[in-house]
Chains A and B, each alone.
Chain A
Amino acid sequence: MSSSTASRWGLRTLGLGYLALLLLAPLVLIFFKTFEDGISPPLDAITSPDGLHALKLTLIMVAIAVPINTIFGIGCALLLVRHKWKGNGVIDAVINLPFAISPIVIGLSLFLLYGTDGWFGPALADLGFEVLFSVPGMVLASIFVSLPFVVRETVPVLQEIGTDQEQAASTLGANAWQTFWRITLPAIRWGVAYGVVLTTARVLGEFGAVTIVSGSINGKTQTLPLFVEKQFANFQLPGAYGASLVLALLALTTLLAMNLLKRKEA
């Protein structure tokens, strides 16, 4: 009995110690480092025109990429679960690609496609539409990296709820649209919401893919993560830590939302 107690304590110490060193210590240190020299240096850096612009641009990314991927995600999940088709396996596999591909490769792919020698770049430039080193390219990168989340979270919920209630609704004369709004969407809402939270977190924090297509121009094509890197590279540590703290608080909010949604879902 004593040996099992010892091994229990050993495992507990090992696991929790690892988490403390790897996860908790960095999180605590962000707070400490940010306010090392008082509250005003980081605050001034974040409220500088470039800092505020970075925050605004980050929120614009979220406001565009998240709704697009949510609508796509729900529609795609419905097709995959409810409409058997021989191509579904391929669609399913393509949706998982952004999980496994390096953000740098994703950035490069957009860089090549929309660059001056790319397949789309010259034609769009003739129309006066700049994708690279401007907001559209950054939006495309954000959409690419966050594409799988809503689909992956919605598919299992759709499989679980089955079709009984929907069949009842349609028997009672509801059309497909009414059935979707009144029956299906309320039933899958927590799964969708969970996917939306994960999508938002990914878009807020994306660095690699966005950095390649944006050029990280101060006050123009700089999101908060890019702002962190630029400030650090220019030895502006208060700005780097201040923006990091904002992003860390957003991450903690995300974790909180995930946990609340998990309870709702269960």
Chain B
Amino acid sequence: MEAHAASSSAATPRAGIRLPGVGAGLGRGAVVLYLSLIVLLPLAAVVNQSLEGGIDAFWSAVTSPQAVASLKLTVICSLIVVVINAIFGTIIAWILVRDEFPGKAAVNAVIDLPFALPTIVASLTLLALYGHDSPFGIDIAFTRTAIVVALLFVTLPFVVRAVQPLLLEMDREMEAAAASLGAGGLTIFRRIIFPNLVPGLAAGVALAFARALGEYGSVLLFAGGLPETQVSSVFIRSQIESGNDLGASAVSVVLLLASLLLLASVTLIQRWGSRHERDGDGGGLTTMPMSGDVVTKKEADDE
């Protein structure tokens, strides 16, 4: 709504802190220049490098057996991971919103640990925990299962943080009505709760999928770079090290395209979700469920 106010006041002089016409232009120029230098030019260099030998060379680099194997492995592991974390993320969000138990605040805080803990540390400790000297006797190091576990760790917060605010916002009366009409717990979840969670779940899954596709650090020590555990990021690294810039860039471009598609889908999901729920559209700017901050604001509103 504020964005709307700002836009309609373009003709009037008073609209909060606004730079004068020239200043806004300069600021915009600075932002565009900064983003170009820091983000866009480097990415353009990757695309340029991948097409250095023409489209045929690009295609044969992408379809080389090793590249295809790494992409396939990455996509399959990432799909498994987002399905598991969609289920467990929803369960965790559920107990954080609807359940009461001692230590809930601490559990809520620790959800963000994978965002704060360096990925290489995660990899090292997962190796100690589920490797050769596992205290649980579970040795999955240097296997495809290790890739899945590492990715489960790093993508855990996305679905929880995307679903949690929707659960908090949800109107409990509909559930009560359904229950009074004789619906069981499962029916209520399937017919009433789940449809309301879909936008958050979809956005969280898309972000988790993007993260999983590109993950490197957490996989490195735990799953290693054996031929059968080589995910795309590890493959790209090995290509850089052996001086094959074309092979590295070509697979990178495939990952880049996947990232762009997933980000675009998150934006579309949010537009679609916000049309159902909120009056303000946030000026069309995206929000990212990257931490618990959204949740706390909603909690504050409720009190």
Residues of A within 8 A of B (CB): 3-4, 7-8, 11-12, 14-16, 18-19, 22-27, 29-30, 33, 72, 75-76, 78-85, 87-89, 91-106, 108-113, 118-119, 140, 143-144, 147-149, 152-153, 155-156, 158-167, 170-171, 176, 179-180, 183-184, 194, 198, 201, 204-208, 212, 224-225, 228-229, 232, 240-241, 244, 247-248, 251-252, 254-256, 258-259, 262-263, 265-266
The answer on a CB contact under 8 Å between A105 and B17 is: no
B269 beta carbon closer than 8 Å to chain A: no
- In the complex, 29 of the A-B residue pairs with CB atoms within 8 angstroms, ordered by the A residue number, are A26-B122, A29-B128, A33-B125, A72-B31, A72-B34, A76-B31, A84-B7, A84-B283, A94-B35, A96-B286, A99-B207, A100-B262, A102-B213, A102-B215, A104-B214, A113-B41, A113-B42, A119-B45, A162-B5, A163-B2, A163-B5, A171-B14, A183-B17, A207-B118, A212-B240, A225-B118, A240-B124, A255-B109, A265-B296
The answer on a CB contact under 8 Å between A18 and B217 is: no
A residues in contact with B49, CB < 8 Å: 112
Majority DSSP secondary structure for residues of A touching B = helix
> Interface readout for B1-44 with A: 1 if CB under 8 Å, 0 if not?
11101110010001111111001100110111011001111110
Q: Smallest CB–CB gap between B162 and chain A, Å? A: 13
Tell me the residues in window 93-114 of chain B with beta carbons closer than 8 Å to chain A beta carbons: 94-95, 99, 101, 107, 109-114
Stretch at the interface among B56-64, B167-175, B193-201, B247-255: B247-255
B145 beta carbon closer than 8 Å to chain A: no
The answer on a CB contact under 8 Å between B293 and A153 is: yes
User: Residue on A with the closest CB to B135?
Assistant: A29
B residues in contact with A112, CB < 8 Å: 42, 45-46, 48-49, 245, 249
B297 beta carbon closer than 8 Å to chain A: yes
Q: Smallest CB–CB gap between A232 and chain B, Å? A: 6
Residue among B40, B46, B111, B117 having the largest count of chain A Cβ atoms under 10 Å: B117
A residues in contact with B1, CB < 8 Å: 159
User: Residue on B with the closest CB to A99?
Assistant: B288
The answer on a CB contact under 8 Å between B118 and A19 is: no
Bound CA span A225–B95, Å: 34
The answer on a CB contact under 8 Å between B263 and A232 is: no
B216 beta carbon closer than 8 Å to chain A: yes
Contact A91-B282, Cβ < 8 Å, known A163-B17, A167-B15: no
Among the listed A102, A140, A143, which residue makes an inter-chain contact with B214, where contact means beta carbons less than 8 Å apart?
Answer: A102
The answer on a CB contact under 8 Å between A83 and B24 is: yes
Bound CA span A205–B123, Å: 12
Bound CA span A247–B123, Å: 13
For chain B, the bracket of interface size reads: 35 or more
Residue among B107, B149, B255, B293 having the largest count of chain A Cβ atoms under 10 Å: B293
Q: Smallest CB–CB gap between A54 and chain B, Å? A: 12
B residues in contact with A82, CB < 8 Å: 6, 15-18
Contact A258-B255, Cβ < 8 Å, known A84-B283, A140-B38, A228-B124: no
Q: Smallest CB–CB gap between A202 and chain B, Å? A: 8
The answer on a CB contact under 8 Å between B237 and A212 is: yes
B299 beta carbon closer than 8 Å to chain A: yes
B129 beta carbon closer than 8 Å to chain A: yes
Majority DSSP secondary structure for residues of B touching A = helix
A residues in contact with B252, CB < 8 Å: 102, 104-105, 108-109
The answer on a CB contact under 8 Å between B14 and A167 is: yes
The answer on a CB contact under 8 Å between A93 and B263 is: yes
B residues in contact with A80, CB < 8 Å: 283, 285
Bound CA span A102–B122, Å: 17
Bound CA span A201–B115, Å: 8
Among the listed B17, B91, B185, B263, which residue makes an inter-chain contact with A14, where contact means beta carbons less than 8 Å apart?
Answer: B91
User: Residue on A with the closest CB to B30?
Assistant: A75
Q: Smallest CB–CB gap between B9 and chain A, Å? A: 8
Bound CA span A141–B209, Å: 22
Bound CA span A180–B255, Å: 40
The answer on a CB contact under 8 Å between B35 and A27 is: no
> Interface readout for B215-233 with A: 1 if CB under 8 Å, 0 if not?
1110011000000000011
The answer on a CB contact under 8 Å between B24 and A79 is: yes
The answer on a CB contact under 8 Å between A81 and B17 is: no
The answer on a CB contact under 8 Å between A101 and B2 is: no
B82 beta carbon closer than 8 Å to chain A: no
Q: Smallest CB–CB gap between B130 and chain A, Å? A: 9
Q: Smallest CB–CB gap between B38 and chain A, Å? A: 6
User: Residue on A with the closest CB to B10?
Assistant: A84
User: Residue on B with the closest CB to A170?
Assistant: B14
The answer on a CB contact under 8 Å between B6 and A144 is: no
User: Residue on A with the closest CB to B7?
Assistant: A84
The answer on a CB contact under 8 Å between A255 and B31 is: no
A residues in contact with B5, CB < 8 Å: 162-163
